[in-house]
Each structure stands twice: as C-alpha cells, then as structure tokens.
C-alpha cells in the first residue's frame, strides 16, 4: 500500500506528513517532526513513556498507526512551555524533584496535565490512577504524586494559568 498524506494539528499548528501504513504516531513525532520528548520504552502500551494527548486525551502513541488519526489534534511535551515559562505541572516537577533520569517525565507530565485539565481538584487516589500507566524506574513515584497535587493546588489558587495555556 502506498504512503499517504496525513494532516495533524500538532502543538497548535497544522502539519502534514507522508506516512507508510506501518508508521506509528510515535515514529512520526520523533522521526518526521524531530520531537524527541515522547520516548519509545516498550512499544507495547505498557510503560507510558510515549504518552501524548490525542484530541485532548492521554494516549500511548506507540500503538497508533498515524494514518488512522488524520485530522486529529496531537499535543506533546514540546508544546507545553511558553518559551522559558514552564506550565504549572512542569514547574511543580522541578520544584518537587519529580524527575531524575527524565525518561518517563514527558509521558508522566502529559498524563498529569490531562488529569488536571479534566479534574482540577484531584485526590491522591485520582493522581495514582491517572499515572498508573506511566512507569518510573527512578523516583519511587512519591515526588511525582506530590508534584501533581501541588500543581493542582497552585492552579486552584491561580486559575488564570491553566497547564495547557497556549495550546
């Protein structure tokens, strides 16, 4: 089957690519668009390091043939910060030492961002459920949970700066 042209709204901008049937969204992001935030950990849906937002929902990009999501909106970690200004979730990860080697961090932040966009007042249990598909080998998860809860708290105090401002 020949390659086809796929259009995506990627981090707020309309982009086109030529994709083979076997090209995954993850490959398209990394190899065509040079966006290296989403990582290939397992390619089995099990580690979450490739998590991006697909039409606003967290999704493992390693399991999506990109030709099937033409016309969709895709947001990656690269689209979050406004220049040097980090989003509240990103800043909380820095403040709470929620990142060590950083391999899981882009996926983790996309899952956390998706949670806070839908549920601004999450419980600890909500946070654990939201990141249960994102594996972290370094932090032991506690600093990550603290960071997400504190970002939520900060956002409630300053509702004018949502994590996805600028998306």
Chain residues in the site for another protein (CB under 8 A): 1, 21-22, 24, 43-45, 48, 51, 54, 57-60, 62-65, 67-70, 107, 111, 114-115, 128-130, 132-134
What are 55's two structure tokens?
């039409």
Q: Which helix (H) or strand (E) holds 111?
A: helix 105-118
Looking at the Cβ atoms of 124 and 137, the one nearer to ligand FES is 137
Residues in 38-97 that interact with ligand FAD by CB under 6 A: 44-46
Query: In the bound complex, what is the minimum distance in angstroms from residue 59's beta carbon to ligand FES?
Result: 10
The Cα 50–Cα 27 span in angstroms is 10
The Cα 110–Cα 131 span in angstroms is 9
β-pairing verdict for 73-75 and 51-54: antiparallel
Looking at the Cβ atoms of 12 and 140, the one nearer to ligand FES is 140
One of 4, 15, 42, 128 touching ligand FES (CB under 6 A): 42
Could you tell me which of 103, 137, 109 has the C-alpha nearest to residue 53? 109
One of 20, 102, 161, 165 touching ligand FES (CB under 6 A): 102
């Amino acid at each position: 089957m020949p390659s086809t042209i796929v259009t995506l709204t990627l981090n707020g901008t309309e982009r086109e690519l030529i994709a083979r049937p076997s090209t995954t969204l993850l490959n398209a992001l990394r190899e065509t668009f040079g966006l290296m935030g989403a990582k290939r950990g397992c390619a089995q849906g099990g580690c979450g390091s490739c998590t991006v937002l697909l039409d606003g929902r967290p999704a493992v990009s390693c399991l999506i043939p990109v030709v099937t999501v033409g016309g969709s909106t895709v947001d990656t970690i690269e689209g979050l910060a406004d220049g040097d200004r980090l989003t509240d979730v990103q800043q909380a990860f820095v403040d709470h030492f929620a990142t060590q080697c950083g391999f899981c961090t882009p996926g983790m932040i996309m899952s956390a961002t998706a949670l806070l966009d839908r549920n601004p007042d999450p419980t600890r249990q909500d946070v654990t459920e939201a990141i249960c598909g994102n594996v972290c080998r370094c932090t032991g998860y506690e600093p990550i949970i603290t960071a997400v809860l504190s970002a939520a708290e900060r956002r409630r105090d300053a509702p004018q700066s949502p994590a996805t401002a600028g998306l």
